[in-house]
Amino acid sequence: MELVLELRGLVKEFPGQRAVDGVSLSLARGGFYSLLGPSGCGKTTTLRMIGGFENPDAGEVVLAGNVVNGLKPYQRDVSTVFQSYALFPHLTALRNVEFGLRERGLKDCTARAMRALEMVRLADKRDRRPSELSGGEKQRVALARSLVLEPKLLLLDEPLAALDPKLRREMRAELKAMQRKTGITFLLVTHDQEEALSLSDYVAVMNKGRIEQFGTPEEVYLRPATKFVAGFLGTMNWFGKTGVRPESTRLSRTGEGLAAKVESSLFLGNCINVNVVLEDGSRVVAAMGLEHNNFHEGEAVWLHWLPSDELHFQ
């Protein structure tokens, strides 16, 4: 398996804090990867070190077998889709996409840029300026501008964060399709677990400057390596050091299991979330099918779950 990117013990310190604290990661060619974590976990700083916008204090960035530490952004064969898109406001959509091609002194810049715009279905908006494009269109121009250079690695910094929820879901499908079509390796930075899980082949979950777990979406969700990963991905009900997902938590009126009292019952469309309070005062959620829409506030219930659904942590 050919490695596109390898990070070896990356460290970056800012005054007063260690933003990235020894990150190591290997990405194979052609995959869709995510760096997932809460804000301030160091994922964007990691991305900026790969792009060449920050220099690591320690460790190495290896791109296609070559150490690229110290190389400027324009000397690296990676491209970034910025969170703000960073489209040049004085240039049309077409000229934006052409920008990098011209910098490389290629001949058929315009034809290539047009093909890239066609790929993102914006050929008819080629002469619009960024201010005349919608959020989704800007995002697609930014994507085309980077993809047209056929980089070894495409970095995406929270590319969907600025879009409204409906558009975000549409763009998610488009991103995935684009990655499969071009075969370019994508590395997505996001704080949205749903986004990371649905798009990626592999997810690296980051916390406090370190990678807590690296694996497929199934692995990180179903077999979280640490308490942090378990809590950050989806909701988790905690019973001491044992965690149980809400969808594995069952309620009954049989009198068997942990005694609790119903606090509220929320209809979410695809399921019902029943919030209950245990005798020790701690709160637990049970996600149940729509047929369970009959729990009343204050009703006494009992909790149970299958031992195979339990997750144990140190």
Partner 1 sequence: MALFFLLPLVIVFACSLLTRGDYGGVEQPWTLESYLRILDPLYLAIFWRSLWIATVATALCSLLGFPLALFVARAGKRRNLYLQLVLLPFWTSFLVRTYAWLFILRDTGLVNTVLLRMHLIAGPLPLLYNDGAVLLGLVYNFLPFFVLPVYAALERLDPALAEAAADLGARPWPVLWRVIVPLSAPGIMAGAVLLFIPCLGAYLIPDLLGGGKTVMLGNLVQNQFTTARDWPFGSAASLVLMLLSALVLAGLVRSRVARELL
- Our CA angle for 142, 145, 149, nearest 5°, is 145
By CB under 8 A, residue 80 contacts partner 1: yes
Least distance (Å) between residue 74 CB and partner 1: 5
Q: How many CA atoms lie within 13 A of 97 on its CB side?
A: 32
Least distance (Å) between residue 20 CB and partner 1: 18
User: What track of x and - describes contact with partner 1 for positions 147 through 176 (by CB under 8 A)?
Assistant: --x---------------------------
By CB under 8 A, residue 52 contacts partner 1: yes
Considering only 9, 14, 53, 170, the residue that binds partner 1 (CB under 8 A) is 53
Question: With contact defined as beta carbons under 8 Å apart, do 247 and 275 qualify?
Answer: no
Cα separation, 182 vs 233, whole angstroms: 29
By CB under 8 A, residue 296 contacts partner 1: no
Considering only 72, 107, 166, 296, the residue that binds partner 1 (CB under 8 A) is 72
Helix axes 135-147, 93-103, angle to 10 degrees: 20
Per-position b or e across 102-120, b if 16+ CB within 10 A of its CB: eeeeeeebeebbbebbebb
Least distance (Å) between residue 160 CB and partner 1: 16
Least distance (Å) between residue 79 CB and partner 1: 6
Question: With contact defined as beta carbons under 8 Å apart, do 18 and 186 qualify?
Answer: no
- Left (φ > 0), alpha (ψ -120 to 50) or beta: where does 83 sit? alpha
By CB under 8 A, residue 70 contacts partner 1: no
Least distance (Å) between residue 224 CB and partner 1: 34
Nearest-10 Cα torsion for 127, 133, 136, 138: 60
Cα separation, 287 vs 282, whole angstroms: 17
Contact window for partner 1 (CB under 8 A) among 37-45, 69-77, 180-188, 298-306:
69-77
Considering only 84, 134, 264, 282, the residue that binds partner 1 (CB under 8 A) is 84
Closest to partner 1 by CB, 105 or 298: 105
Least distance (Å) between residue 94 CB and partner 1: 14
Considering only 37, 56, 100, 209, the residue that binds partner 1 (CB under 8 A) is 100
Radius of gyration of the chain (CA): 23
- Alpha helix segments (H runs only) across the chain: 43-51, 93-103, 109-119, 135-147, 165-182, 193-199, 217-222, 227-232
By CB under 8 A, residue 79 contacts partner 1: yes
Cα separation, 118 vs 274, whole angstroms: 48
Considering only 145, 172, 191, 245, the residue that binds partner 1 (CB under 8 A) is 145
By CB under 8 A, residue 89 contacts partner 1: yes
Residues found near partner 1 in the complex (CB under 8 A): 51-53, 72-74, 78-80, 82-84, 86-90, 99-100, 103-104, 145-146, 149
